């Protein structure tokens, strides 16, 4: 299998920036007084990356090199995805029954971070590994800060996970814009 296409790379950026918007929004749950404006700026930047990624992705034809088009790879993708969902549901139930639901953002952040590691092999995007490590580190920081200060774990995960996702999405968008368009690739093959 070859390099990911411009459309695939931009679509990945679109998805990650979209979730970045969500994390910045979740950070607004119980933020300290100084945080809402900064979280709002993060949301706005994420939305700009969503729009730019969508424009880049949808200007390309549907043909894709994304490995999840392959049945075996798609099964692996589903295992990673449903494993992440299962971990989140178990964590949510445990935290709800123990009265620690304020730490749910940290638990979800950890599951999201960890899922990027096996996902990197499925979608052939090795840089997802450092993204996964970063998002997982944010979860640990959110738990630690939440236990030792009055700052809500959702604020820490909002800034940390939102920032990591939109940062990676912006970088993926730059990578996508550097790839040849499907039209220029077809012209090169014909020439």
Q: How many CB atoms lie within 10 A of CB 33?
A: 6
Mean pLDDT of 31-48: 96
> Would you say residue 125 has pLDDT above 50?
yes
Q: What is the pLDDT of residue 8?
A: 86
d(CA 154, CA 23): 8
Q: Phi/psi of residue 124, each to 5°?
A: 55, 50
Contact at 8 Å (CB) between 20 and 42?
yes
pTM value is: 0.87
Mean pLDDT of 81-94: 96
How does pLDDT run across 138-190, given as a tens digit for each residue?
999 999 999 999 999 999 999 999 999 999 999 999 999 888 876 554 444 44
d(CA 57, CA 72): 25
């Amino acid at each position: 299998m070859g390099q990911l296409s411009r459309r695939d790379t931009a679509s990945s950026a679109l998805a990650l920036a979209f979730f970045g918007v969500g994390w910045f929004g979740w950070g607004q749950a119980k933020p300290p007084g100084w945080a809402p404006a900064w979280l709002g700026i993060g949301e706005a930047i994420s939305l700009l990356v969503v729009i730019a990624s969508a424009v880049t992705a949808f200007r390309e034809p549907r043909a894709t090199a994304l490995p999840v088009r392959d049945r075996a790879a798609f099964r692996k993708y589903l295992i990673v995805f449903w494993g992440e969902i299962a971990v989140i549901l178990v964590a949510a139930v445990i935290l709800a029954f123990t009265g620690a639901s304020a730490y749910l953002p940290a638990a979800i952040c950890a599951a999201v971070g960890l899922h990027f590691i096996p996902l990197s092999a499925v979608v052939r995007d090795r840089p997802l590994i450092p993204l996964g490590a970063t998002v997982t580190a944010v979860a640990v920081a959110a738990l630690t800060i939440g236990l030792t200060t009055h700052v809500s774990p959702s604020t820490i995960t909002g800034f940390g996970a939102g920032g990591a996702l939109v940062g990676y999405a912006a970088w993926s968008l730059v990578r996508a814009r550097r790839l040849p368009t499907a039209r220029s690739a077809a012209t090169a093959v014909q020439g």
